[in-house]
Amino acid sequence: MNDSSSMALRTMNPSEIVETLREGLIVLTEDLTVEYASDRFLKMFQVDSYETVGRSLSDLGDGQWNIPALLDQLNEIVVRDVTLEDIEVEHHFDHIGRKVMRLNARKIVWVTDSAKRILLAIDDVTEAADHARELSRQRQLAEGIVDTIREPLLVLDDDLQIIAASRSFYLKFKVDADQAIGRNLADLGDGQWANAELIRLLEEVVPDDSTMEDYEITHDFPQVGIRTVLLNARKIFREGNNTETLLLAMEDVTERRRLEAERDRAMDQSNRLLEELNHRVMNSMAMISSVISLEGRSLSGDEGKRAFVRMRNRIDAIGTLYRTLSRTATVDSVKADSYLSAIVRDAVSAMEVSPEAIHLELSIDDIFLSTRVAVPLGLITNELVTNSLKYAYKGRDKGTLGLKVATNNDGVELAIWDDGPGIDENARVDSGLGQKLVDAFVQQLGGALSRTSGKGGTRYILAIPHSEIFRLQTKHT
């Protein structure tokens, strides 16, 4: 220090130095009587100088400073000539409430009279202490939550250093805390977590404030063997927190994946067997249809031939289902469009109606039907289309036949119509057998069939609720 600086310090008023301090300062005699109190101290504890200076510390504020923890520490300074450094004392003052004070004190000797004094600096750290206490409480709570989570969990900092780990993590991967805490994830377990893609994704989660969900890794862990693990990562956002913390949760799905693979293999085998069965049924139905066709041709009389044609149509309708299954390589569901449109065209061909004479209007939603729905629906379609072909176009050169299948909020609706002369209400249509079959199939589907007929043609509408379709498609055989 140069001479000018020394001169400035010697000429500076000590009270000016004291008043620049953040801490409150009091000077005590050896019997702990207050000889001086700084303005900062007076403001900090909301007292006046006249009720402070000259009084024993223990008597201040009607005894509010009679704090054994503080007085014992100060008496140690008097007796043993020690110093106090960053000692925290907590006390409740009647007029200002609870305070946490950080104390620094030492004994000094006045040069002028060799008298001994105690300088006591007091810093109000109540807010900081409360904040630290809350952080400690939250840390303990977080650690408790982490340890109670069933799935393994790691807490990482922004450099992917392991801050904490759940008990289930240690148990699952057979590592100790001293092998994990403080280590980088890539170095954990001799590098068994050093998955380049995983590290890249985690490094993107923190800066982008995004999440990583269900990232799957399969690895041969030294202590536990080959495991398949789903990883989920999320950054913890805390307002005012300058550090970034990452939660990495793990779910061991090894057993689940094994069961899924076994199920898929069993399903593939079952599908192959069912596909083969469908193919054999299709061939059998085609053979039966051919035999009936041959028998029908050998009959005399139109009525007998028509009965055989209708029987063949019903068998062919079921055969169409299996042909469609075989063609699309499926075993238990068909597309409504290809299946029902084939039934309509086969019926036209079987009734020996010229394709050019019938204008088909087909509109079928792109939906799949399970075989439990497709069989009765196909047979209903076959019966109603056959009726139209038999009665609506008798004695006519041309006509229109329509089929529409659409889904709506209530379920599935099938409509079949023609532009024939309508049905005589008193006439017996197909001797009642076809209608009985239709009624039975409608009941099987849990639907409702309505018919309107007049000079403009005949229209059938079949409505099947979603609940009934779901029932049939999930019904066990």
Question: Where does the pLDDT of residue 92 fall: very low under 50, low under 70, confident under 90, or very high at 90 and above?
Answer: confident
Percentage, residues of the chain above pLDDT 70: 70
- The rounded radius of gyration (Å) of the Cα atoms in the chain is 46
Look at residue 256 and tell me whether its pLDDT is greater than 70.
Answer: yes
3-state secondary structure of 32: coil
* Prediction pTM value: 0.41
DSSP annotation of 356: G
Task: State in words which class domain 258-474 has.
Answer: alpha beta
Question: pLDDT value at position 301?
Answer: 54
Look at residue 308 and tell me whether its pLDDT is greater than 70.
Answer: no
Look at residue 363 and tell me whether its pLDDT is greater than 90.
Answer: yes
Q: 84-93 and 97-109 as β-strands: parallel, antiparallel, unpaired? A: antiparallel
Architecture label for domain 131-252: 2-Layer Sandwich (3.30)
CB 246 within 8 A of CB 208: no
Q: Of 383, 375, 287, nearest to 339 (Cα)? A: 375
Which residue is associated with the tokens 């109190």? 37
Give the residue-averaged pLDDT of 272-288: 58
Q: Which residues contact 443 (CB under 8 A, 6 or more apart)?
A: none
Question: Where does the pLDDT of residue 5 fall: very low under 50, low under 70, confident under 90, or very high at 90 and above?
Answer: very low
Longest CA–CA span in the chain (Å) reads 149
The pLDDT mean for the chain works out to: 76
Question: Where does the pLDDT of residue 361 fall: very low under 50, low under 70, confident under 90, or very high at 90 and above?
Answer: very high
- Structural domain boundaries of the chain? 3-124, 131-252, 258-474
Question: pLDDT value at position 362?
Answer: 92
Alpha-carbon distance 410 to 463, whole Å? 9
CA atoms lying within 13 Å on the CB side of residue 420: 24
Give the residue-averaged pLDDT of 322-329: 60
Look at residue 162 and tell me whether its pLDDT is greater than 50.
Answer: yes
Higher pLDDT, 136 or 469: 469
Question: pLDDT value at position 12?
Answer: 43
Question: Where does the pLDDT of residue 330 fall: very low under 50, low under 70, confident under 90, or very high at 90 and above?
Answer: low
Look at residue 124 and tell me whether its pLDDT is greater than 70.
Answer: yes
Alpha-carbon distance 313 to 351, whole Å? 9
pLDDT in tens, 165-209: 888 888 888 888 787 888 888 887 767 777 777 788 777 766 666
Give the residue-averaged pLDDT of 351-379: 82
Length of the chain: 477
pLDDT in tens, 396-427: 778 889 999 999 988 999 999 999 888 776 65
Look at residue 395 and tell me whether its pLDDT is greater than 80.
Answer: no
Common-topology check for domains 3-124 and 131-252: yes
Give the residue-averaged pLDDT of 367-379: 84
What is the side-by-side strand order in the sheet with 116-124? 34-37, 24-28, 116-124, 97-109, 84-93
The pair phi, psi for residue 226, each rounded to 5°, is -75, 120
Give the H/E segment covering residue 149: none
- Tell me the CATH number of domain 3-124, given options 3.90.190.20, 1.50.10.10, 3.30.450.20, 3.40.600.10: 3.30.450.20
Alpha-carbon distance 366 to 374, whole Å? 14
> Which of these ranges, 180-194, 223-237, 262-276, 369-383, has the smallest mean pLDDT?
262-276
Q: Name residue 145's beta-bridge partners.
A: none
